[in-house]
Amino acid sequence: MAGISYNAQKNPYLGPAGSATMHCDAQASDASPMRGPGVPGPGQRWVTKEIKMGGACPTILVGEDNIVQVLCTKVVSSDGIALQPNVATLSADGTPIDDLNLPKGALLGGVYAYIDNANRMVLVDGTSTLIRVAHDAGGGNLHIDSRFDLSSVLRGDQIVGLTPDWQGRIWLASKNALTIVVDFERGMIRATKLQQFATTEVVDNSISSSPDGVNIITSHGIYQLHADEMGRPQISWSHSYDRGNHRKPGQLAWGSGASPTFFGPNGSDYVMLSDNADDQESVIVYRVADGKLIGSAKLFQPGKSGTENSMIGIGNTIIGASTYGYPYPKYPDGAGTSVPKSAPFAPGMERWDITEKGLVNVWKRDDVYSSAVPRYCAPDNIIYTCERGRGFLGIDPIFALAIDMETGETLHRVEQPGKAMIGSSDTLEMVGVIKDGVWWQGTISRILRISMGA
């Protein structure tokens, strides 16, 4: 059966669709127009190469020049507390080329970045400076190409997410829900605070953009924004959501655990979020043009329902994966104690389609323990993710999975080198990137390069 075609509009200020942002594109679709490793045929198998990085690698991106760019947080002390953000480049076969240390920021050194249309990694460092990191034609000579100081508006706050809009401006969201618009070329900066639903709203995940504007999810609400004629951020519409009464185990903050995702039959007709309702959370879909509610659906198992993962959105299809109870080794400062304090990792992956009757469940798996953000590759019609198995004394194996988009059936499953919780292959619900048949997956201390081999 034919797959669902990738149809997200290309942002002219980003690198290649599928590998320029943590969630594939500006829309955060977690869907890619590029093929993955595929399902092995006779005489074939998945081959994994381990690339030691010395720390967690939550952000792996690839530019038009096919240089792999990685944002890692290296452990530089035996107690694991002193963390060093680092940008590194790798060749197509995984050979390290160069690296550049950056000033320390928030948890994991600030995990969100993107590749722009000049193959530069754009991110905010620990000094509240928006930077563009460039390299030469071979991936070496990593250096900061340009800077923009944000300290005048941040004033002790920290940046969480950033994205370019379709006019080339860079939008940023801070932890304390400050929305910032930077016109890098003109040296202009504008800002406004999001507090429609509480005076203390916070942002915990990345932000997304489409031709119609930028979307930000706070701890209390979802906001669709646009820039006025002076470049100032303006709210187009907003809605509160059920944030529940507490943070759940397996989530890093109290509120929605997901980035907003634009999707739809025309590329970005809709935007969705997952809420944090106590017993069973929902996926909620709004029309981008006016904020009208399109529909909602309850997710995963009652009493074990929660996710920290951005969902796949492509055409009229949604794919979500549970992270309830995932045993993160460390939580962000200020996350607080979850309720309950801990819980077994709960499985769950399901597909929902938007139809004339509302959101309809197409398939539901209660046996997939997804331990990475799932990614759909349209040419394969396959969802790729990692799965945490159950081992002795919590030393769990990690598997790489290929799942059929149409049926939800597992097509291929291969154990990866190392074990979770002993410093090697724990994928920590991180995002990989897939380009030209190669799957690059970050772990707690290294990168797994998975490709088809004999």
Question: Using one digit for the tens of pLDDT, what is the confidence trace for 333-358?
Answer: 788 899 999 999 999 999 999 999 89
The number of residues making up the chain comes to 454
**Pair 208, 28: CB distance under 8 Å:** yes
Q: Is residue 384 part of a domain?
A: no
Structural domain of 87: 31-41+55-367
Q: Is residue 135 part of a domain?
A: yes
Strand spans (E) along 309-348: 312-314, 317-321
Whether 248 shows a pLDDT value over 50: the answer reads yes
Structure confidence by residue, pLDDT tens digits, 23-65: 999 999 999 999 999 999 999 999 999 999 988 889 999 999 9
Q: Is residue 407 part of a domain?
A: no
- Sorted by sequence, the CB contacts under 8 Å of residue 364 that are 6+ apart come out as 348, 349, 350, 351, 408
Q: Is residue 9 part of a domain?
A: no
Residue 424: the pLDDT is 60
Please state, rounded to an integer, the average pLDDT across all residues of the chain: 92
| pLDDT, mean of residues 99-109 | 71
Structure confidence by residue, pLDDT tens digits, 119-133: 999 999 988 999 999
Between the alpha carbon of residue 292 and those of residues 5, 236, 269, 296, 351, the distances in Å are: 26, 12, 11, 12, 22
The amino acid that residue 125 corresponds to is D
Structure confidence by residue, pLDDT tens digits, 375-423: 999 999 999 999 998 776 567 889 999 999 999 999 999 999 876 655 5
Distance CA 176, CA 173 (A): 8
Q: Is residue 323 part of a domain?
A: yes
Q: Is residue 445 part of a domain?
A: no
Residue 290: the pLDDT is 98
3-class DSSP state of 153: helix
Residue 109: the pLDDT is 43
pLDDT > 70: percent of the chain: 94
> Any idea what DSSP says for residue 151?
H
* Residue written as token pair 């002219």: 12
Structure confidence by residue, pLDDT tens digits, 189-240: 999 999 999 999 999 999 999 999 999 999 999 999 999 999 999 999 999 9
Q: Edge to edge, what strands does the sheet with 55-62 contain?
A: 55-62, 68-75, 83-90, 96-101
- For residue 273, what is the domain's CATH number? 2.130.10.10
When divided into structural domains, the chain yields a total of: 1
pLDDT > 90: percent of the chain: 81
Helix (H) or strand (E) holding 206, with range, is none
Whether 317 shows a pLDDT value over 70: the answer reads yes
Q: Is residue 22 part of a domain?
A: no
| pLDDT, mean of residues 113-123 | 97
- pTM of the predicted protein model: 0.95
Q: Is residue 359 part of a domain?
A: yes
- Sorted by sequence, the CB contacts under 8 Å of residue 413 that are 6+ apart come out as 387, 399, 400, 401, 402
Residue 419: the pLDDT is 64
